[in-house]
Amino acid sequence: MTDLQAILDGIYTELSPRIGEGKVADYIPELAKVDPKQFGMTIATVNGEVHSVGDAGIAFSIQSISKVFMLTLALGKIGESLWKRVGREPSGTSFNSIVQLEREEGIPRNPFINAGAIAVSDVVLSGHAPREAIGELLRFVRYVADDESITIDDRVARSETQTGFRNFALANFMRAYGNLDHPVEHVLGVYFHQCALSMSCQQLAKAGLYLAARGSNPITGHSVVSPKRARRINALMLTCGHYDGSGDFAYHVGLPGKSGVGGGILAVAPGIGSIAVWSPGLNKVGNSQLGAVALEMLAARTGWSVFGD
């Protein structure tokens, strides 16, 4: 596919002067240290091709992108009964808002805002010690990415544990409403470690491929979820994957996607491929500024938008 490689190269060339734009997340001390002048992008297609550009081989903190993998695990564990614990609607508020939790009695609006992901962590933790649950996630991500070298960055996890007061507030609030089964410290232990997953664009694009390919990794042949479940996770990514910028992302890019404050975005072109992009500078709603621009350019040039070509 010289085409796709050419498109990636073109995007990279055009964006080069802007690399460094946006504001690196500073509320997690370890993330604040990241050099903003980095940009990488990888496309993995359902046909098994992989195209990359820029810093696509450098591992970064995937942060909230991990919520996609945790959601997959939780659905695998308890199926649709998950939706008694967390909703499926966009929140209309920022990713770490607690207002909605009070209004809706401890049920987070969706699994991609912090509160929702904490509830999902509680589900994955069930029957496990925290260390085992983290191990299960790591094995899962290595399995879907077909890459045993993926790790969790303990310094990032520790950094979040020490400063994540707002997440402690969210977890305790849900606990007060009976929407956590495990001790807050255990649940957040899992939560902070999942956010600290360290992956490159190349690894991430491959890890997300099952969502583009009817639930199975077309490279390894591994079945991960049913086609129906893959569709549904994509739907959630489209409506809720970019916090309070989800509508905007759908409007400009038109692909299911999930962003992280580490500057990464995982996007899915159903039936076509999976795209990972990374650039640490964030826009006002906390999504990678250049990452979103790059995906908009990609969608425009490929006609991959789910909303029409």
Contact segment (CB under 8 A) with its own copies among 3-11, 58-66, 119-127, 239-247 equals 239-247
Least distance to its own copies, CB of residue 33, Å = 21
Q: Is 261 a catalytic residue?
A: yes
Residue with structure tokens 């696509």? 56
Least distance to its own copies, CB of residue 136, Å = 25
How far apart CA 206 and CA 104 sit, in angstroms, is 37
When asked if residue 235 is in the footprint of its own copies (CB under 8 A), the reply is yes
When asked if residue 72 is in the footprint of its own copies (CB under 8 A), the reply is no
Q: Which is nearer to its own copies, 100 or 259 (CB)?
A: 100
Query: Which of 28, 124, 219, 306 lies at the binding interface for its own copies (CB under 8 A)?
Result: 306
When asked if residue 75 is in the footprint of its own copies (CB under 8 A), the reply is no
When asked if residue 168 is in the footprint of its own copies (CB under 8 A), the reply is yes
User: Which one of the listed residues 67, 206, 268, 279 is annotated catalytic?
Assistant: 67
Q: Which is nearer to its own copies, 17 or 165 (CB)?
A: 165
Q: Is 274 a catalytic residue?
A: no
When asked if residue 225 is in the footprint of its own copies (CB under 8 A), the reply is no
Q: Is 144 a catalytic residue?
A: no
Residue with structure tokens 């550009």? 53
When asked if residue 161 is in the footprint of its own copies (CB under 8 A), the reply is no
When asked if residue 17 is in the footprint of its own copies (CB under 8 A), the reply is no
How far apart CA 109 and CA 90 sit, in angstroms, is 7
How far apart CA 212 and CA 81 sit, in angstroms, is 24
User: What positions carry a catalytic annotation?
Assistant: 64, 67, 191, 243, 261
The residues that touch its own copies, with contacts defined as CB under 8 A, are 87-93, 97-103, 109-110, 165-166, 168-173, 175-176, 184, 211-212, 214, 227-228, 230-232, 234-236, 238-240, 244-248, 250-251, 254, 256, 270-271, 300, 305-309
